[in-house]
Amino acid sequence: MTTPIDATTTSAWGELTARADGFAPDLRRWFADDPGRVERLTFDLADLRIDLSKNLVDDGILASLVKLADEVHLTERRDAMFRGEHINTTEDRPVLHTALRRPAGAEPRLVVDGQDIDGDVQRVLDAMTAFAERVRSGDWVGITGKRVTHVVNIGIGGSDLGPAMVSAALEPFATAGIQARFISNIDPFDLAHKTEDLDPETTLFIVVSKTFTTLETLTNARLARDWLWSGLAASGAIDGSETQKTDAVAHHFVAVSTALDKVAAFGIDPANAFAFWDWVGGRYSVGSAVGLSLVLELGPDAFREMLAGLHAVDEHFATTPLERNVPVLMGLLNVWYTNFLGAQSHAVLPYAQQLSRFPAYLQQLTMESNGKRVRWDGSPVTTDTGEIFWGEPGTNGQHAFYQLIHQGTRLIPADFIGFVNPAYPLTDDGRDVHGLFLANFLAQTKALAFGKTAEEVKAEGTTGPLVAARTFPGNRPTTSIFAPALTPRVLGELIALYEHLTFTQGVVWGINSFDQWGVELGKQLALQIAPAIEGDADAAAAQDASTRALLDYYRAHR
């Protein structure tokens, strides 16, 4: 295991510390004095136009950041990832989500630990395609011979957020009469609510769990199986015999997992199970069989387009020099804000209602990856890590929390994401509504960057204390990401962009971005507390005073 380089001991870190000391960004002046700034800081990454010019950096800061990446050996670590070295040290695994998106027939073939990774990936992709074609064409039917109209993905975390986000984002591409739904929460409301209007005869469940041990997923899968059986029995479709129940599961349940033995134990025919591998982290798995619901809903072509978009950005990340490597630059900007300018959080503001789940998706990607306090060799980190990602689609956010971003006391770097062409071009009294929407994107990034001075406020006739209240300080950093339209390919590009900027930050911090031990303790304790909830007095007595009091409240109000 290589020892991570402590970024704080590099000469670039010293440079950046000096640059941050007394740093007084002035985007108005920088833009006025430097006509080449926008061109220099704007990048085309596959279909994405990415404008970094409204960030709080000058050429010197950028050069020091790139030097930092160099000094922590980012390139070597990146190459080790693509090669399949076991960079996930705490789980002793390679990290190969990028292999999921390699085109069929890519050369040289990727063989890792003696395993033909390319062959494995293409085999499962072909199986997913064949299955989706059967379902979409009506060849695969439910137990009563009816076509599938709804696929319900049961999974949580990485086995939910990616497909749920993509399904919402690409809803206009769902043209085969199949709608995907996503059940994740063990709160019974989730399953009850999402199955309420479904017909068991036309519903196909996909149980998605890498480990096939996750409490929420297996509980929901059992509830779904009961819902299926009782629904089919109620309509007389099955008589409730064990044989018919097994047959019903065979027609209405498939699974996605790395643990195919556990899938069989649940009662799902292994012939209806789609594999993935322990070298795909849950939050990096949307391009694997975890995306099966998407192949069913959007079709194999759209899914492969998304993979092509992911791959295009993988290629850029793998081969572009650091100073022009967009995910690297964006990751380094986040390091600059987090470690040198004191930012605690990062907003992601899509100007696309369809991307409403994108911030939630990014929360798992970034925070489960980089929310760590030890480095990949177990030693403590030497800097702050993992900023808090959050956001909502514009313009809803404008009428909620943008106030704080514009005029609050905290520095909140924000990514604005917009698309030139809308999925639904509507006009209002002759005006293009989408154009109006995008005008807001541009207006907000402009207001955040350049603000409004007291003089400008006064020139509008405002006087007294209102002047200060109406003044906007500006110099609030934003990145603008624009694309022609929200297509499967473009969405794949966006996902890979954030994956690789997350990796970049992790390498600077010396973190293994691919484990998630921090979720384990709560899982263990839930299993210990569950008997207390169910009335086991000894289990209740073993809890701390606060938990005991809450259990008392629970019992009193039950």
Q: Which residues of this protein are in contact with ligand F6P, per CB under 6 A?
A: 156-159, 209-211, 214, 217, 282-283, 368, 516, 519
29 Cβ contact list (under 8 Å, min separation 6)? none
> Is there a contact between 239 and 209 (Cβ–Cβ < 8 Å)?
no
Q: Which is nearer to ligand F6P, 282 or 287 (CB)?
A: 282
Sheet strand arrangement including 48-51: 42-45, 48-51, 478-485, 414-421, 345-351, 388-390
Q: Which is nearer to ligand F6P, 16 or 218 (CB)?
A: 218
Amino acid letter at 455? Answer: E
The residue among 519, 488, 493 whose CA lies nearest residue 364 is 519
Q: What are phi and psi of 478, to 5 degrees?
A: -140, 155
The residue among 23, 11, 25, 6 whose CA lies nearest residue 478 is 25
What whole-number distance in Å separates Cα of residue 229 and Cα of residue 201? 10
Count of other CB atoms within 10 angstroms of residue 107: 8
> Is there a contact between 502 and 331 (Cβ–Cβ < 8 Å)?
yes
Q: Which is nearer to ligand F6P, 173 or 389 (CB)?
A: 389
Q: Which is nearer to ligand F6P, 365 or 417 (CB)?
A: 365
The residue among 177, 154, 294 whose CA lies nearest residue 224 is 154
Amino acid letter at 349? Answer: L
What whole-number distance in Å separates Cα of residue 194 and Cα of residue 216? 15
The residue among 345, 338, 475 whose CA lies nearest residue 412 is 345
Instruction: Show the tokens assigned to 223.
Output: 């509830």
Least Å from the CB of residue 13 to ligand F6P: 31
Whether 399 is a known active-site residue: answer yes
DSSP 42: E
435 Cβ contact list (under 8 Å, min separation 6)? none
Q: Give the active site residue among 216, 368, 387, 392.
A: 368
Q: Give the active site residue among 76, 193, 399, 446.
A: 399
Q: Which position's Cβ is nearest ligand F6P?
A: 282
Least Å from the CB of residue 281 to ligand F6P: 7
What whole-number distance in Å separates Cα of residue 296 and Cα of residue 319? 33
Q: Which is nearer to ligand F6P, 10 or 217 (CB)?
A: 217
Q: Which is nearer to ligand F6P, 223 or 490 (CB)?
A: 223
Q: Which is nearer to ligand F6P, 153 or 203 (CB)?
A: 153
527 Cβ contact list (under 8 Å, min separation 6)? 215
Least Å from the CB of residue 156 to ligand F6P: 5
Least Å from the CB of residue 26 to ligand F6P: 42
Q: Which is nearer to ligand F6P, 207 or 335 (CB)?
A: 207
Amino acid letter at 385? Answer: T
* Sign of the dihedral defined by the CA atoms of residues 374, 380, 382, 388, in that order: positive
Strand ranges (E), 123-279: 150-154, 179-183, 203-208, 253-257, 273-275
Least Å from the CB of residue 262 to ligand F6P: 10
Q: Which is nearer to ligand F6P, 361 or 441 (CB)?
A: 361
Residue 538 DSSP SS3: helix
What whole-number distance in Å separates Cα of residue 105 and Cα of residue 522? 43
Q: Give the active site residue among 76, 193, 446, 523.
A: 523
Least Å from the CB of residue 10 to ligand F6P: 31
> Is there a contact between 194 and 242 (Cβ–Cβ < 8 Å)?
no
Q: What angle do CA 284, 252, 205 make, to 5 degrees?
A: 30
- Residues classed as catalytic: 368, 399, 523
